[in-house]
Amino acid sequence: MKKFPAIVLSILLFLCICSCILFIVVFITTRDVDLGAMMPRSLSRAKAAAGPENPIRIPDRFKPPVVESSIDSPAVATIAEPVSIAPHTPKYISKYRCRDKMDSDDMILLILGKNLFCKKSQWSRPWNNPGGRGIRSGADGLIFGDSVVADSFTNIMWQRYSTSPSLPYGQIDDAINRLNTRKWRGFYNWRPPTIEEIMVLLVPKRNRHGLFLPAGWNCNVKDIWSCNPACDSLSTQWIWVARMGMGRCNYGHPDIPRALLAVRKMR
């Protein structure tokens, strides 16, 4: 009977040693666990047998969580650069070309006729259309790259940020020539935008960057040149400009510096 406590202590000591060894083994083998190790053994074997040419579907419970975008900045398609879009018929075909002269009647026909958005200013203009909805909802049709934005609705590619943020109108041709000479982003058909192309972009609500542009477009400028001269009697020799920070357009004096946001037609 005196040997009984010694036997019990020996058993307990043996169990403690085994438990420690088991703990160490489990810790070493599981400290670098990855997603594949967490899958059921049958799924891992099936994945290995499938190979790259015959992939299997991974159950949703083994996929990483999807991060939802905020309401103010919805998810937008992002692209590598340079980019192009497969040939298609654009949803919106521009009427006016670069260098076309436009008067107030042309702007009324453009903005009110197409129901484009143009916020009312303190000086009421006949082409103001604060109730206009434009051609898109949110960022529909826009594909964002690091420095360009492709618009499938108009088949136009835009600079996402201006490389010429402040210059008088007389210098925009030189700025365009520099872009094309160095084949900026792989293209050499850059040009200034028409006022129609700019107004088609505007939306009725400011995005979180303070611009009346689709969500996700954090352009570095607010006022940009178009390539259309104004030809009203009171604005001869002036140029149509867009004020993206105010959501409207007007004619501006060519000597007052503004930004250039270049565009190109996608083929």
Distance CA(126)–CA(146), nearest Å, equals 37
Residue 55 within a domain = no
For 110, the domain range is 95-134+161-265
Which pLDDT value is given to residue 54? 47
Residue 179 within a domain = yes
What is this structure's pTM? 0.67
Give the pLDDT band of residue 25 (cuts 50, 70, 90). low
Please provide the average confidence, as pLDDT, over all residues in the chain: 78
In tens, the pLDDT along 88-143 reads 677 788 888 998 999 999 999 999 999 999 998 877 889 999 999 988 887 888 99
Residue 84 within a domain = no
Distance CA(37)–CA(65), nearest Å, equals 18
Residue 217 within a domain = yes
Q: What is the DSSP letter of 72?
A: S
Overall domain count for the chain: 1
Residue 61 within a domain = no
Residue 130 within a domain = yes
Q: What is the DSSP letter of 196?
A: H
Distance CA(48)–CA(170), nearest Å, equals 65
Q: What is the DSSP letter of 232?
A: S
In tens, the pLDDT along 70-79 reads 223 333 444 5
Residue 210 within a domain = yes
Residue 170 within a domain = yes
